[in-house]
Amino acid sequence: TLHPSLSDVLWRKHRALSRQLTVQMMQNPQILAALQERLDGLVGSPSGYMESLPKVVKRRVNALKNLQVKCAHIEAKFYEEVHELERKYAALYQPLFDKRSDIVKAAYEPTEEECEWKADEEEELTEEMKEKAKVEEEKKDEEKEDPKGVPEFWLTVFKNVDLLSDMVQEHDEPILKQLQDVKVKFSDPGQPMSFSLEFNFEPNEFFTNTLLTKTYKMRSEPDENDPFSFDGPEIMGCTGCTIDWTKGKNITLKTIKKKQKHKGRGTVRTVTKTVPNDSFFNFFTPPDVPESGDMDEDTEAVLAADFEIGHFIRERIVPRAVLYFTGEAIEDDDDDVSTHHSLCNGLIPVLDL
């Protein structure tokens, strides 16, 4: 039996006392008000330590800050090279992703060797149990029609991820069943840093496009006005594409009927109005970012969510799609929620242009 050390005991007593004091504070409005007033006074104010330093030391601290700015510019170059490395390895991954796409859409049937997979639980199964499971599986296959490829692969992936399932409406599903592949394309060497998401659809009754794209522009350089905020490449804006909807099939719009009363005659008539409709496909028509960078809160919120979704698709969904299809990657994400908020070396959405 392990006995707690003296420091452990003291630490626990400290924690208990802290909790007790916190409860007492929360129950006393006067203490809370005084504390809030104190906190309000501290917002935006320096600690006072810098002001207390001698002038000669302040000068040296300024020199250190100038060195830090130079470090930020070197770090920016580092991330530019990381982007080049990502581009290089994307070309190595792509043949594997292409084969994945061929299997999903039934353009390629994998061999017996390629289909072999030893799951952990199978290790404990006896030969008799394995044979019985095999017979049952074959019996089920005989009862069903032979499906082609992996039906509804990407729709299942999207519905398995909270970030995307919130976007997918019931009327989106028949279209997303036609989604054959999602790819990431990086900007060419020498071009401004960006990446594009390519959604490849088989011909369908909803729109004439077979390819829908979304491009995210990035910046990897410190802001002149706030160089210390630099923490890696930042998504600065995004552009979608035009969806050529078949007449009567545009699910991003809906028709509503509204009764209107004539002010003079008092008669009532019914008017038909077309209004926006919730849909996954609104993802391809993001709001414009004004050159001034001034946006209302709603636009900022929409863009911040859009940047997060775009990056998540690039960084997690495309490389690990099969694990989101099976649900295995979702368990990993749930185990470490912070991973979701620190995607790829500080690539953080930025809206203050």
Reported as a single tens digit per residue, the pLDDT across 244-255 is 999 999 999 998
Strands, DSSP E only, in 187-267? 194-201, 211-219, 234-239, 253-261
The arithmetic mean of pLDDT across residues 106-132, rounded, is 75
For residue 309, pLDDT over 50 is answered with yes
Count how many residues are written for the chain: 353
Whether 312 and 143 have beta carbons less than 8 Å apart is answered as no
Contacts of 315 (CB under 8 A, 6+ apart): 343, 344, 347
The arithmetic mean of pLDDT across residues 10-15, rounded, is 56
Contacts of 281 (CB under 8 A, 6+ apart): 172, 175, 212, 243, 251, 252
For residue 126, pLDDT over 70 is answered with no
The arithmetic mean of pLDDT across residues 58-87, rounded, is 91
Reported as a single tens digit per residue, the pLDDT across 163-193 is 999 999 999 999 999 999 999 999 988 888 8
Strands, sheet with 348-349, edge to edge from the N-terminal-most edge strand: 179-186, 194-201, 211-219, 234-239, 348-349
Alpha-carbon gap, residue 283 to 343, rounded angstroms: 20
Between CA 83 and CA 94, with CA 88 as vertex, the angle to 5 degrees is: 115
Reported as a single tens digit per residue, the pLDDT across 265-298 is 777 777 888 899 999 999 999 988 777 667 788 8
For helices 6-26 and 29-42, angle between their N-to-C axes, nearest 10 degrees: 100
For residue 31, pLDDT over 60 is answered with yes
For residue 145, pLDDT over 60 is answered with yes
The pLDDT of residue 90: 93
Kindly report the pTM of this predicted structure.
0.71
Residue of 125 and 31 predicted with greater confidence: 31
Contacts of 207 (CB under 8 A, 6+ apart): 201, 243, 244, 245, 246, 249
Reported as a single tens digit per residue, the pLDDT across 43-70 is 555 567 888 889 999 999 999 999 999 9
Q: Give the chain's mean pLDDT.
A: 81
